[in-house]
Amino acid sequence: MIDLSLLEDFILGAGESLEEMEAALLSLETDPENKELLDTIFRDLHTIKGAAQFVGLDKVAELSHVAEDLLDAIRTGEKAATLDIITVLMHSKDRVEVLIEDLERSQTEETEVADLVEKLSAYLNTGPTNTDTTPSTAEAPASNELEEFQDEELSFFLDEEPRKEAAEEEGNELSFLSADSSFLEAGESIKDATDTSFLEIDIPESQDTDDSFLNVEIPSTPSIGFLDVEGEESTEEDSSEIFSYLPTDATEEQTSFLADDSNTESISSSSEVSDAPEEDLTSTLLEGFDNLDASFDSTASSDPGLAIQANEVEEDLTSTLMEGLDNLESSFDSTANPETDAPISAEPEIEAPDLSTEPELSSEQPRFELPEEEHDQELFGIFIQQLQDKLSLINEVTQSLAITENKAESLTPCIETIKALKFSSNYMGYEALTNLYSVWLSRIDQAQSDLLMDAECSLEFMHTYLQELNEIFPQLHALSSEKNTDEITVSAIDNLAADEGHLAFIEGLIEDEQPQDDKTPEKIIEPVEKPTIAKDPAPSFIADIEAKEEDDEEDQLFKRLSSALDSSIQESIVADPINEVFDALLAASEIESPAVQAIQPLKIKTLEQANLEIIPEPESPEPVAEVTAKVETISELDIQTLADQQELEAAVQLGIQDNQPAQLPATKKADKAKTAIAPKKQKATEKVFKKSIRIDSDKIDSLMNQVGELIVNRASFFQLAGEIVTLQQDLKESGLAAKELKLVRAFAYRFGEAIISLGRTSNELQEGVMTVRMLPIAQLFNRYPRLVHDLAHTHHKKIELLIRGESTELDKMIIEELSDPIIHMIRNAIGHGLETPEQRRESGKPETGTLTLEAYHESNHIVIEVRDDGRGIDPEKIRAKALAKGLFSSEELARMNSKELNRFIMMPGFSTADKIDSTSGRGVGMDVVKKNIEKLNGSIEVDSKLGISTTIRLKIPLTLAIIPALLVRVSTNFFTVPLANVEETLRVNRSNISVMEDTEVMYLRGKTIPIFRLSHLFSIPSDLTRESLEYFVVIVNTGAGQVGFMVDELLGQEEVVIKPLADYLQDNSGFSGATIIGGGRISLIIDVNELSNIAKNSQIEKHQDQESKSLASLDLK
């Protein structure tokens, strides 16, 4: 099944990859050892394969997969990149292209790939070292698929990032996410559990409070239940603990801290806080820090339990947890099992990304001001639609789960659906969502296996996930309709905060479950710490995906929030000690118990350091105020304002001073660790923001049309301005009073000014729209290396292709029109121009011929040159041919210079080639080129030096839709001559015009130029009479030399919008279109080439006519 909406994107994306791949393959031929090229090709193949698998294109995926394997073998040095292999790869690339063409046409892969797959496999299997990569290449192992796929998709999005790192990162993100989402869920279920099972504890508080409060309160609650201690006491400790460890998340924690205080009201310090939270914060904090010391002492005793836990985590989480859970109330039993394993496995992996991103966040804050990546509305709409559909599908299944017997089987369609969802969200770049799906999938997977083994298993989580998705969904939907409104982002953040609350809660639960026998209240410290760490990856994870995930507003804002907080507290701190603390702490908690003891002072030291450095620069940066304000609204809690935060900093500092000195070396060590990781991260964030958007070209065309109309209107305004001046003159002459005349003059002046400013704006607008349509000619030139390569092979010639000026920009329409002509010219150059290596050697040239494609601007034109250093065009051959064809007499031909002679090669059927081959020689090519170029109002020039070089120069106007033109009048008819064709305009005396063979001619700088009266050509009346002494003549350049057109009046130059005429009016009429000039009048645009041809033909006919007439009259006599 192929998803049509995605197919289009795939075709585009694959096209780009194929282009790059082709270029790389071509260069690989000359440089087979180049690792970079191999990597490029590999990456492109990989991208195509990944995308193809995603879209469901089996053949493309298969072919690219095998090709990729072969390339991998080359890359690892097992195979040499021989010419054969490159050729096969090239063919594979072509085949993929064919397949994509199939897809464009019929949405199916029609062309077979088996032969190439076989060939590639053959190459892979034969050769000096046959490796174990082979078996895996034959067919993509299904088991690896998922893993591979993720891997590849990520590299698809990360683009340049090394794959290994990408995979690693995804792993981290994944685990983080899994942790996040499962916490959420577990949080909910446990909340229920606490409600029912631990009624003896003062629970209501935890429910009254907000999400952030849950963060602190809930983790402690279960422990309280088990450990039989005073809940309030431990809560207080928890919060202060968190606070001291986590200045990064100060506001967040502070919030919970305060909320805690104000709600519980049972702690000694809390009364102070709630009475005057702003004033007495300092003392509260101090108290918190005092408690801290005590807690640390007791933490040590609980360490063995932690160590055990860490080990268990590594080894067999599920079973251990099951055991631990057995001790819990029965309600826990079923829900917690599937949920707990994910978060725990996630933990060890969290540290790495977490650390390195933190400093970046604070230092790279300005980044947020950059424009956000464009958001494909259409695709998004499809995505949302799909999400909706699939969710309802899953919902159905989930509903039915409750009643079906065979639960495991009925889950299967769910897996399929979620997989599809995951692919699409991955495609869209919503990694958070993707990861959510991943976790979900693994969860279902486990549930399924559990069910098969008749294990006790609840499928409650299905509902939870659905609920979660439904919560996310409206936000996404809202985002799609109106981007970036505050309400949405705020609610998004809110949601995230809630997630964290759950997350923290669950984390706490997990920790608590393990050492149930250990009934020291201090035990709680660790669990509470954990959540804060687990939470930390959020920003880093976001930083990771930030570049790609532009529309995930909640992440965005959260990142901004955390980084701002970060900087508010750690501003001016070069290192980021806090993170090291977490790192060390986490590591310690995993490895050995003594380490925890070591961390304890270290933590304090780093905090101290942080604050010491804050002191010299106490002022917080601007954004902090803003973000803090946001946090306030978001959390819906009584959060302190910026002022409070600064107080808080002071408090932290004070608190620290009470603490013991720390171990410096440890900090340094952590420092090192951090710097080692940092550069790795840098790469991801450095990723260039993509600023381009894709727009339907029709839209641009219609915009262009409207701008054209505007230009026309402007022209009529100018005309009006002129009329007003005349009017003013008339009024003056009619004897209007000076006073009234003054008014008129003032008005005329203001009117003129207004028009000038209108003109300026519309000019800019026109230019702007025109640049939108402009594309670098590289788009065109990049198509030719392959052509040259193939032609060089068939002709057994050595050719080097030089491309210059590929960044020259040109109207997209023109680029398309130029493609074929340039192909013809290249074929000519290679077929006729360039000699074989032997011939070249004989004539003393280097064996390798050079073919140059060059583009450059020349005033309002773009010039494209195709130049070869081959044998050139022999004027004698042309003369002979022209004579043989009876085109001209030998005398005439002798008089012609080479430029004039070269024009003959553009005549149909005129070929100087001795033999016709597959490439060229039929004499059609240059004729086609000429036709095409003239269609573009362009001109073509052939310049050749015999034995040295041939240059074909195409001169093309920059754009087609609007052209500068000369307006002329013949009687009441207005005509427009494209300025591109106008050589000069003359006022000619009658005496300067003579008649030669019934054709009027004039001599201009030694040249004889035929003059045609437009009135005659068009059979229209003219103002000119036989008595007229002066004529206006427009000298134009045509393909066949200069021609003069006689008109009644020259009206001036104007920008005109070309509008097409009905075909039966345009063909062979001498007009290339029409335009609307001032006053809504229509002026026909003269096609000078066609018109001069018509004129010449009519002259010839007339001539023959007269001859026959005179013959007839002779006969009569």
Contact residues for other proteins, defined by CB under 8 A: 709, 973, 998, 1016-1020, 1059-1065, 1067-1071, 1074, 1076, 1080-1084, 1094, 1097-1098, 1101-1102, 1105
* 617 secondary structure, DSSP code: S
List all residues 6 or more positions away from 8 whose beta carbon is below 8 Å from its beta carbon: none
In 3D space, the residue among 773, 826, 836 whose CA is nearest the CA of residue 801 turns out to be 826
Smallest distance from the beta carbon of 15 to other proteins, in angstroms? Answer: 31
Smallest distance from the beta carbon of 986 to other proteins, in angstroms? Answer: 22
**3-class DSSP state for residue 544?**
helix
In 3D space, the residue among 156, 128, 137, 10 whose CA is nearest the CA of residue 64 turns out to be 137
- Name the phi and psi angles at 1001, rounded to 5: -135, 160
Q: Which is nearer to other proteins, 1037 or 1075 (CB)?
A: 1075
Smallest distance from the beta carbon of 962 to other proteins, in angstroms? Answer: 14
Strand partners, 949: 945
Smallest distance from the beta carbon of 1094 to other proteins, in angstroms? Answer: 6
Smallest distance from the beta carbon of 104 to other proteins, in angstroms? Answer: 25
Q: Which amino acid is at 158?
A: L
CA–CA dist 677, 981 (Å, integer): 64
CA–CA dist 809, 577 (Å, integer): 51
Q: Which is nearer to other proteins, 708 or 849 (CB)?
A: 708
- Length of the chain equals 1117
Q: Which is nearer to other proteins, 356 or 1075 (CB)?
A: 1075
Q: Which is nearer to other proteins, 852 or 1093 (CB)?
A: 1093
Q: Classify residue 272 as exposed, middle or buried by CB count within 10 Å of its CB (0-12, 13-18, 19+).
A: middle
Smallest distance from the beta carbon of 931 to other proteins, in angstroms? Answer: 18
CA–CA dist 257, 268 (Å, integer): 14
CA 87, 88, 91, 96 torsion: positive or negative?
negative
Strand partners, 1091: none
Smallest distance from the beta carbon of 724 to other proteins, in angstroms? Answer: 23
Smallest distance from the beta carbon of 1084 to other proteins, in angstroms? Answer: 6
3-state SS track over 967-1011: EEEECCEEEEEECCCEEEEEEEEHHHEEEECCEEEEEECCEEEEE
Smallest distance from the beta carbon of 719 to other proteins, in angstroms? Answer: 16
Beta strands in 301-446 (DSSP E): none
Q: What per-residue string of b and e applies to 902-931 under the rule 16 or more CB within 10 Å gives b?
A: bbbbbbeebbbeeeeeebbbebebbbebbe
Q: Which is nearer to other proteins, 137 or 973 (CB)?
A: 973
Q: Regarding beta strands 1071-1076 and 973-978, do their DSSP bridges make them parallel or antiparallel, or are they unpaired? A: unpaired
Q: Which is nearer to other proteins, 816 or 1067 (CB)?
A: 1067
Smallest distance from the beta carbon of 144 to other proteins, in angstroms? Answer: 54
For the chain, the distance separating the N- and C-terminal CA atoms, rounded to the nearest angstrom, is 87
Q: Which is nearer to other proteins, 574 or 1065 (CB)?
A: 1065
Question: Cβ(438)–Cβ(380) under 8 Å?
Answer: no
Question: Cβ(210)–Cβ(494) under 8 Å?
Answer: no
Q: Which is nearer to other proteins, 211 or 1087 (CB)?
A: 1087
Cα distances (Å, whole numbers) of residue 590 to 180, 182, 593, 1052: 20, 21, 8, 85
List all residues 6 or more positions away from 25 whose beta carbon is below 8 Å from its beta carbon: 41, 86, 89, 90, 93
Q: Which is nearer to other proteins, 334 or 1093 (CB)?
A: 1093
* 271 secondary structure, DSSP code: H
CA–CA dist 278, 643 (Å, integer): 9
Q: Which is nearer to other proteins, 886 or 1080 (CB)?
A: 1080
CA–CA dist 96, 29 (Å, integer): 20
Q: Which is nearer to other proteins, 597 or 1093 (CB)?
A: 1093
Smallest distance from the beta carbon of 1074 to other proteins, in angstroms? Answer: 5
Q: Which amino acid is at 791?
A: L
In 3D space, the residue among 88, 156, 168 whose CA is nearest the CA of residue 122 turns out to be 88
* 328 secondary structure, DSSP code: S
CA–CA dist 72, 123 (Å, integer): 12
Q: Which is nearer to other proteins, 663 or 1069 (CB)?
A: 1069
Q: Which is nearer to other proteins, 157 or 974 (CB)?
A: 974
Smallest distance from the beta carbon of 907 to other proteins, in angstroms? Answer: 20
Smallest distance from the beta carbon of 816 to other proteins, in angstroms? Answer: 23
Question: Cβ(892)–Cβ(971) under 8 Å?
Answer: no
3-state SS track over 821-852: HHHHHHHHHHHHHCCCHHHHHHCCCCCCEEEE
Smallest distance from the beta carbon of 1065 to other proteins, in angstroms? Answer: 5
Q: Which is nearer to other proteins, 283 or 705 (CB)?
A: 705
Give CA angle at 630 (627, 631), nearest 5°. 90
Smallest distance from the beta carbon of 1107 to other proteins, in angstroms? Answer: 14
CA–CA dist 507, 532 (Å, integer): 9
Smallest distance from the beta carbon of 1073 to other proteins, in angstroms? Answer: 8
**3-class DSSP state for residue 780?**
helix
Smallest distance from the beta carbon of 1019 to other proteins, in angstroms? Answer: 5
Strand partners, 984: 1035
Q: Which is nearer to other proteins, 629 or 1112 (CB)?
A: 1112
CA–CA dist 579, 563 (Å, integer): 13
Smallest distance from the beta carbon of 334 to other proteins, in angstroms? Answer: 58
Q: Which is nearer to other proteins, 246 or 1091 (CB)?
A: 1091
Q: Which is nearer to other proteins, 933 or 1056 (CB)?
A: 1056
Q: Using CA atoms in the order 37, 39, 43, 46, what is the torsion angle rounded to 10 degrees?
A: 110
Q: Which is nearer to other proteins, 410 or 976 (CB)?
A: 976
Q: Which residue has the tokens 């550069």?
A: 679
